[in-house]
Homo-oligomer: A and B are copies of this chain.
């Protein structure tokens, strides 16, 4: 995927003005992109501990001080305006998708920036291994599983995973490469055997798009950054705000 926008600050500025509204995959290549999770300070310790206990689905890039909107990983940025889309959840229910959250901002909001898989996907692509969803320009297939996350306070529930079909000869190499990117969810959590983690039908992902699994391929599962959103929903959190699917916060950190 090619794009005119190469610089994170330029993309963030265009997201802020509303000029840029699309998913961020493929833009500002070489820079870390992050999932956003904003929750009130009252739940922040429990959620931070949840991330510490579940580093594979929730690898922390940065946690901002309560009320703060400019991350250290993106000088001059505003976390409340510089993402192309946001989602608001109340009592665990999705209630609103919006282009900014500055108008909802509170001084007790704590922002968590959580790694996403783009970095390791780029590293895999560089070795010449094609990833089906990238090739087909689809969103990656994601599934809720029966793998329990380590709970913390009110936060509990199952891990969400992303699945990529990988040729048997490439599985070990893809494990090694992704293992080098702990901020991008690291090595897979499960290889083959979807039923063993509670996935009944690979053709019906819970999020994203289904992709074809070829005869010489194994489904490989990685912990997914959608996990905290699902946990917030299943824990019926009173309020949380996230980025909209595929529309990530683009940092200035090389990744």
Binding site for B on A (CB under 8 A): 41, 44-45, 48-49, 52-53, 60, 63, 65, 152-153
Contacts and interface: CB of A to CB of B under 8 A. Distances in A.
A153 B52 contact: no
Nearest to A44: B45
A85 to B, nearest CB: 27
Contacts of A45: 41, 44-45, 48
Contacts of A52: 48, 52, 60, 63
Contact of A48 (B41, B48, B65): B48
A65 B153 CA distance: 8
Contacts of A44: 45
A137 to B, nearest CB: 35
A48 B48 CA distance: 7
A149 to B, nearest CB: 14
Nearest to A110: B45
Nearest to A47: B45
A52 B60 CA distance: 8
A152 to B, nearest CB: 8
Nearest to A43: B45
A199 to B, nearest CB: 27
Contacts of A65: 152-153
A65 B48 CA distance: 12
A236 to B, nearest CB: 20
Instruction: Find the residue from A44, A52, A60 having the highest chain B CB count within 10 A.
Output: A52
A230 to B, nearest CB: 22
Nearest to A152: B65
Contacts of A63: 49, 52-53
Contacts of A153: 65
A53 B152 CA distance: 20
A48 to B, nearest CB: 5
Contacts of A41: 45
A41 B152 CA distance: 14
A233 to B, nearest CB: 22
Given A52-B63, A65-B152, 12 more contacts: A41-B45, A44-B45, A45-B45, A45-B48, A48-B48, A48-B49, A48-B52, A49-B63, A52-B52, A52-B60, A53-B63, A65-B153
